[in-house]
Structure formats: structure tokens, C-alpha cells
Amino acid sequence: MKKLKRSISIFTIMIMLMTAALGCGRTVEEEPDDNVLSDNIILTETGETLILPQESEQDSPHEQLMSGGEEESESQYVQEEIVSPNVDVDIPHQEQVITEEDQTEPHGSDLQIVFLGDSIFDNNRDGTGVPYLTAVQCNEADVYNLAIGGTSATIEWGEESSNELWTSRSLVGIVKAMKGDIPTDIFAGTRAKEILDNPDVDFSQTDYFIVEYGINDFFRAVPLDNSETLFDFHTYAGALRYAMSNLNEIAGDATIIVCGPHYCQFFNGNQFIGDGNVLNTGHGTLFDYKGISQYVAKEQQVIFFDAYMDLGIDGYTAEDYLEDGVHLTEAGRQLYADALAKIIMDYEETKNN
């Protein structure tokens, strides 16, 4: 009996020693974020519980793509395969409203401002849109709104990057049309085409180019950048770089203001599925797209307007400033115009002094 007790004691000690040894080899994990309930459940800044879509186990390979550069040269590279989250998000659409306030003819003002962007600038051409409201506060500046709703900075997969076969209405396409590199036929049915075709509009006399893209690039999950081809038309950063360098050629004395995408909320039906801080469509969150636009603006030495952080639109104020989670209410558009006008008028005062 004593031998049995001694054997049990020895066995128990051995188990304890093995357990301790294993314990010493464990890696201490970081404490989880207090706002993370599980791998796909997050508390937003307003306290809402967000269930994120699960990532797909399938890779989403992209085919070999053509890259455009300043010299119109084309180089090919194979993009790395990525795992894209299975995101089913509603892309809101808004009716365009056009009235006589939308300018297509010069008025002879001292300042000329040209807007390039998507529906955030394009939809409300009725005296309540950001371009018009900005111009009013900038000494009734001549304003030409070349924005086209639904467009991205980048060209889409499968679209040609050669001028002869060009079909894209993107930021890159608009800039090419302004330079006269491509015909304006592809912009048929838009106010942008009317302005581009107007012989009385002289883009070389522009004082300010205001560029606003990124939300549709985020929806389309375009790559943020391509370190091998900096002027890659298929990447958000590459398209912005191309626009910045070529707008400087169109009007050498113009000041360029790059507007990062503003804070947005996203839905699937009536279900809130995330905001610009957390929803990832494949290459990052909307905040990441804001970040790369800020990086390019600094790189190209142009003014950056951080609409995401500086407008005061967030999870607490979204109901006041966002109609559908993305498009701005009239109050939101006034807020945006006020901020742009202040940047321009402050810069004008600096120049004059």
C-alpha cells in the first residue's frame, strides 16, 4: 500500500512538472480590444453593435492589367491575389437636380474654380450643391462642375488605357478630355460634356482645381497603390497622381485641393453593416482610402482637405448630415462648402499678402 501511495505521488509530481514546463513555453497574448466582442462583432463609436461579414475563404484573383503613366507608356504586372470579404452593401443612388444656378458659361469673375468628382459634387446642381455654395462664398467665382455621379478616380478592369480606345469617365478620363487627349463623346448626357465642349471655357485660367473621389473606388474595392507602377490608372493613388501632375500642366498657376472621402455609413437593406472606420471591401476601409489620398496630396505638394476628420461628420452627427449614409443632406453640403470656401479665401489672403 505504501508503494502504491509513493507511486501515485511520484506520478502526480511528474504531471505537475510537465504542466509547468508546457506553461513556460506558452506565448502571452495581447489583451483583446474592449470594443471587440468577437472576431466579427464590434461596438461602434456610438455604441451600436456591428456584425461584420465573414471573410470569404476564396481568393479573388485579378487578371493581368495594363498600367498607364505620364508618358502614356504601358507596362504590365500581375497583381497579387487577395482575399476579399464577402461584403453585400447597398450602393445608394440619388436623383440629379439641375437648375439655372448650374454654371456652364463664364461670368467674368476674378476667380475660376473647377470641380472634379463624383455624385457628392454632381447631384445637386440647383443652388444647394457644394460647388455653387463654395463659389458664392469665394466672391461669386466662376465655377465649372465637371463631376459625374457614379464615377471613380480609377479606370475599371477591362477598360482600355490607350487614348485611341479610351472609354472611361473616371477622373483620369476627365483630365485627359481637358487636355484634349481624348474626344468628349464618352461623356454624352452629362453636364461635364457641355462644359468640356464650350470654347469659351478656358481651363488654363483656372485658379483652383478641387478634386473629390474615393467613395466609389472603395465600393469597387480598387487597389490603393502599386509600388511598381506609381501612375497605375487602376489604383486609387495612381489615378490621383496622374490627375495632379496633369492638372498642373493644364494650368500651371492653379492651386489644387484634394478632398479625401468623408465619413460614411453602409447598409444592407435596413441593416447597418458598418461605417468608414470598420467596413473593409477588400483593400481597406474608407478611412484607408482617405489616408492614401492624404499621402498622395503631400507627395504631390498640393493642399489636402481632410473631409473625413474635419467636417464634423461621424457616428453621432451622421443623421444630420448624411441622407442615406453616403450622400450629404443640404446641411451637410453647406458644411462642406463652408470648409472649402474658408480654405480658398484663407489661401487667397496669404497670396495677396
Does some domain include residue 94? no
First to last CA, the chain: 102
**pLDDT at position 161:** 84
* 258 assigned to some structural domain: yes
Q: Does the pLDDT of residue 209 top 50, yes or no? A: yes
For the stretch 188-202, pLDDT in tens is: 999 999 999 999 999
The grid coordinates of residue 300 equal 504631390
CATH of the domain at 265: 3.40.50.1110
User: Is 272 a domain residue?
Assistant: yes
The answer as to whether 45 is a domain residue is: no
Residue 46 lies in a domain: no
Domain that holds residue 272: 99-352
Q: What percent of the chain has pLDDT over 70?
A: 76
Yes or no: say if 135 and 105 are a contact pair by the CB < 8 Å rule: no
pLDDT at 183 over 60: yes
Residue 69 counted as domain residue = no
* 153 has a pLDDT exceeding 80: yes
Q: How many domains does the chain have?
A: 1
Confirm if 148 and 188 have CB atoms less than 8 A apart.
no
* Amino acid, single-letter form, for residue 68: G
